Structures are given as C-alpha cells and as structure tokens.
Structure 1
Amino acid sequence: MSERPPGPLAVLESRIKNLLIEQASLADRLARSQEREQEERGKLLCRFLEVADLAGTYAAEREGDPSPAARYLQELERLVARILAEAGVHEVPGPGHPADPRYHRVVEAVPGAGRPAGTILKEYRKAYLWNGALLREGQVVVSDDGNGG
C-alpha cells in the first residue's frame, strides 16, 4: 500500500507553519537591528554631548563679551541645546539641586558650603537623559554637612 500525497489542507497547514517560523525569525532580526541602531544613536548623542560641553564652556568664558566671536559661541550653544532637545536629550538639574545617585557620581564633597548636604555645588560633567533614560552620568561636587552626609 502506497502512501497518499498530502491533501490540500495539509499542504496549506505546512505552508502556514513555515511562514509563521519565517515571520518570527524576521521579527527577531528586526528587533536586534533596532537595538543596535538605538545603541549607535546613543553613542552618537554622547559624542555630540562633548560638542555641547565645549560650546557651553567657551560661551561661559566669553559671557558679557560683545564681540562677534562671543555672540557666535552663544548662538552655537543654543543651537546645540535645541538639536539635543529635538532628539529627546535633556539635562538633569545640576547646581543648586540635590545630587541623585541614579544620575550623578559624586567626585568631591565640600564641608561647610552653607547648603544642605548633597546639594550640587559644581558639575565637572553634566548628566543627561535621553527619552527619560540615563544617557550620560554626571560628575558633581556636593555640599557636605561635615558628618559625611
């Protein structure tokens, strides 16, 4: 007795199973590709933060200077800030605000600074969020009440 060829329903069922397997594989590859792309975007934004840091430093150094170069630096700083904001990047509050261990690494504590303990006095590096997640950790100097806290 010879085996009968599969009927149309069995062929269709087999084809659907194969298509579902292929679809799952494509979805997995797409998810991995999107994760890599997101990671690369984050790296690029971190590099761009270096430009923001330089622009901010140079603009602050020339504050009050009416020269065209100083105005250019201030405009550059505003442009960089706008581009970052449009990309979903925002600064974490810095000096005058409490340090947040989720976003800041304390590199120095200054006793007797006249501020509540843990208040950010200075930023060596600003902390940034990207779409609500930490993009770059800040490095800060905080006030200390003299008791290590």
Structure 2
Amino acid sequence: MTENTNDTNSEEILNADGNEATTENVESIGAANAKAGEDFKAKYYYLAAEFENTRKRFEREKENLLKYGSEKILSNLINVVDNFDLTVAALKNDNDDKVQNIVKGIEMIRTQFLDVLKQNGLTQVESMGKVFDPNFHEAVAQAPAPGKEDQEVITEYQKGYVLNGRLLRAAKVVVANNA
C-alpha cells in the first residue's frame, strides 16, 4: 500500500499492522519465518520418529500376543498332563491285562496331547541328571546321593514347562547334596 504525504511526497511501504516497513523489519520478519520453518521441520521429524517408534512398539506387542497369548490356557492344560502322569503311575504296576491296555491308551492320549502342546510352543524342562538351574528348577529338597555330582537333580516331583523360551512353570526337583 502506498500513501502520499504532503511533507515528503514520497512513497512509503506499510506493513500489515500499518507501520512503516523498514529493512530491519523485513529482515526480522524473514528471520521469524525461517525460525518458524525450522520449528515446523523439527516438529515434523519428531512426530515422524514418534510414529515410527509407536509402529515398532505395536509390532512387538503383536508378536508377543501371538507368541505368548495362549500362556494362560496352556498353563491350565499342564495340570491335565500332570493328571495323565499320575494316572499312569498309579496303574502301571497292576497285573491285569485290561488295566494295562487302559494304561497304554492313556499314554497314547498323553503323547498326542503333549504333541499338540509342543506345536503351540510348549516344551518340557529337562531335569533328571542335569545340574540344578534356578532359572528352570525349584528345589524342594536336598538329599545325599553317592555317585552323583553335587547340585545334580536326582528326583523330579513335578515337570517344568517353557513356552517359546519363557518359563511357564519351574520343575520341582530334589538336588544332590554330597557335602
């Protein structure tokens, strides 16, 4: 916008607020716009990085849900396997042929059941003859055991299970103590 004045009869450039635009004002406006552009760019990069981190976190959570989502039901099904083991142990020494056929049937069902659990990522913790590992074993007792190494597992009261590398239930064991 231009304005003629009586005194100078020259052209003045006015800025948006009606004040005269000077070189200093124009430079400060340019610097402010450059600063605003840098702020906008910094915010854009921050939001892009935040979005990427959120996407990665959701992907990890999705993988964990797929990997460990069945943890609760599998931990309950472990008790069913324990009952199969107890039933077989109770009936194994019976001399009746009919009972032995039932025991074989129960063992076949147990094996099939364990195969299905294994397909879903559940594996048994190997304990017998291994050195006690507090990450996988829970010692319920210690006992002298000649011929066994110190801290070797000599009896397993309850089997332990691991789900996709994560301990679901520790094995309850008796450990050799030859001290």
The alignment's TM-score, normalised by the length of structure 1, stands at 0.69
SS in 2 for 1:82: helix
Q: Distance in 2 between matches of 1:21 and 1:117?
A: 53
Structure 1: which 5+ residue stretches go unaligned? Answer: 3-17
Structure 1 residue 49 displacement after superposition: 0.4
Structure 1 residue 78 displacement after superposition: 1.0
Q: Which has the larger radius of gyration?
A: 2
Matches within 5 A, 1:1-149: 35=64, 40-63=69-92, 66-67=97-98, 68-145=101-178, 147=179
Q: Could you say which structure has the greater relative contact order, defined with CA pairs below 8 angstroms and 6 or more residues apart?
A: 1
Q: Distance in 2 between matches of 1:35 and 1:94?
A: 27
Structure 1 residue 51 displacement after superposition: 0.5
Q: Distance in 1 between matches of 2:54 and 2:145?
A: 61
Aligned pairs, how many? 137
Is contact 1:42–1:135 with CA below 8 Å preserved after alignment?
yes
Name the structure with the higher strand share: 1
Q: Select between 122-131 and 38-47 the one with higher mean Cα deviation.
A: 38-47
Structure 2: which 5+ residue stretches go unaligned? Answer: 1-15, 17-46
Q: Distance in 1 between matches of 2:129 and 2:57?
A: 46
Q: Tell me the percent identity.
A: 22
The alignment's TM-score, normalised by the length of structure 2, stands at 0.59
Please name the residue that 1:9 is paired with. none
State the Cα RMSD in Å: 3.2
